[in-house]
Amino acid sequence: MDLPHHGYRATKQRGRTAAPTDSVLFDDTSSAAPAMNNQAYYTPGYNMGGTSNDMQGGPGANNLFTDPMANAAMMYGSSLANQGKDMVNKEISRFMSVNKLKYFFAVDTRYVLKKLMILMFPYTHQDWEVRYHRDTPLTPRQDVNAPDLYIPTMAFITYILLAGMALGIQKRFSPEVLGLCASTALVWIIIEVLVMLLSLYLLTVHSDLSTFDLIAYSGYKYVGMIFTVLCGLLFGSDGYFVALAWSSCALMFFIVRSLKMKILPSLSSDSMGMGSSAKPQLRLYITVATAVFQPIIIYWLTSHLVR
Amino acid sequence: MAFTLYSLIQTAILCTNAVAVLHEERFLSKIGWGVDQGVGGFGDDPGVKAQVLNLIRSVRTVMRVPLIILNSACIVLLLLFG
């Protein structure tokens, strides 16, 4: 798939709009006439119910489906459901933009497989640029470098289940421990994202890293954690340390290469005059500090599972 | 170090309280972190110190009333449930 690089810019000013609503990239049909869909869904139900009941010869059920009162009640119910759905959507979209969130979950199998391979072995991946298409970033389906939230979410849940299993194998399991493990991991993600946001704000780094991007990059470490815990369970403590070293190096490389493109614009080819006035070595420190933090947190969150 | 979500909320409230009690004229001006000392050059990239001072001033302005409500709620809950 060869997309032309028009509209290519390494950084974007933060004041630009959110993801546009031209849904060429997302195939988003959920906002297109749901009432029509619901009614179209109900009439085949009528027909199927009607014909099957005709074949069975049950007059009571037949009356229910052809009764105009039941008809009207069903339509009223479906319109109520639509109103409820619209209201919920409106309330949620006041807090976070649902379109922006949908962008992060637009993945497919090929993307997930390639991304997992890059996370575990990033040394052969050549092109780390996030490609743009007319000033909007491409969805993960079309660009393997785009961050997504599907892998971090699934990896987080898998990590919690794996932690429960590891504790169960060592006969140290209880349901409270599972909840504690989950909330500890969640709190560490929140702390890391807040520290990243704070440092990016203080150094006035005008990158287009949104909060969701940072959550995505923080969540990629769970893939490494799962791999480490599995090796620790299968191969004992030696396997644990080998897998820890491997996934730490891979993850550090991945984070540095991915964030370098976004935080350090002065190293790219077309730097404008005002980009690098905020002491580029501080930006380098941020990137390196993020990378070094990953193995520490992986060790911290998994060492108690593999004794 | 096992964290619960409740300890995160506690930490957030404590940190915000700490930033909110920094008094403008008794403390910040004395150590050179006052409001008038923040805006230095008018370039397009203020330095780290200007950003920090900006952040402190905005937290104090924005979070004053919500902190009052949150702290009162915390006090009541701690009195009732220990």
- pLDDT tens column, A124-143: 888 777 777 776 777 777 77
Confirm whether A74 is domain-assigned. Answer: no
Confirm whether A282 is domain-assigned. Answer: yes
* Dihedral sign computed on CA atoms, order B19, B25, B29, B34: positive
The pTM is what? 0.69
**DSSP characters for B13-59?**
HHHHHHHHT--IIIIITTTT-SSTTT----SSS--HHHHHHHHHHHH
**Structure tokens of A45?**
């139900």
Nearest CA in chain A to B7: A187
Burial of residue A239, with CB atoms counted within 10 A of its CB: 0-12 exposed, 13-18 middle, 19 or more buried: middle
Three-class SS state of A136: strand
Confirm whether A235 is domain-assigned. Answer: yes
Confirm whether A22 is domain-assigned. Answer: no
Give residue A196's domain range.
Answer: 147-269+276-303
Is B51–A187 a contact, with Cβ atoms under 8 angstroms apart? no
Is B4–A183 a contact, with Cβ atoms under 8 angstroms apart? yes
Greatest mean pLDDT range, A98-107, A112-121, A208-217? A112-121
| CB A223 within 8 Å of CB A151 | yes
Confirm whether A162 is domain-assigned. Answer: yes
Confirm whether A3 is domain-assigned. Answer: no
pLDDT, position A51: 47
Between A24 and A281, whose confidence is greater?
Answer: A281
Confirm whether A53 is domain-assigned. Answer: no
Determine contact: A18 vs chain B, CB below 8 A.
no
Nearest CA in chain B to A176: B4
Is B46–A204 a contact, with Cβ atoms under 8 angstroms apart? yes
Query: Whole-angstrom Cα distance, residue A37 to residue A48?
Result: 17
Neighbours of A92 (CB within 10 A): 12
Is B5–A186 a contact, with Cβ atoms under 8 angstroms apart? yes
Between B44 and A10, whose confidence is greater?
Answer: B44
* Dihedral sign computed on CA atoms, order B52, B19, B61, B63: positive
Residue A146: pLDDT over 80? yes
Between A164 and B2, whose confidence is greater?
Answer: A164
Confirm whether A120 is domain-assigned. Answer: no
Amino acid found at A280: P
pLDDT, position B44: 64
**Structure tokens of A304?**
């108690």
Query: Whole-angstrom Cα distance, residue A18 to residue A106?
Result: 16
| CB A298 within 8 Å of CB A221 | yes
Pairing of strands A132-133, A136-137: antiparallel
Looking at chain A from residue 155 to 194, which residues have their Cβ under 8 Å from any Cβ of chain B?
180, 183-184, 186-188, 190-191
| CB A261 within 8 Å of CB A130 | yes
Q: Which residues are paired to A133 by β-bridges?
A: A136
Q: At what angle do helices A150-169 and A175-202 cross, to 10 degrees?
A: 140
> Domains in chain A: how many in total?
1
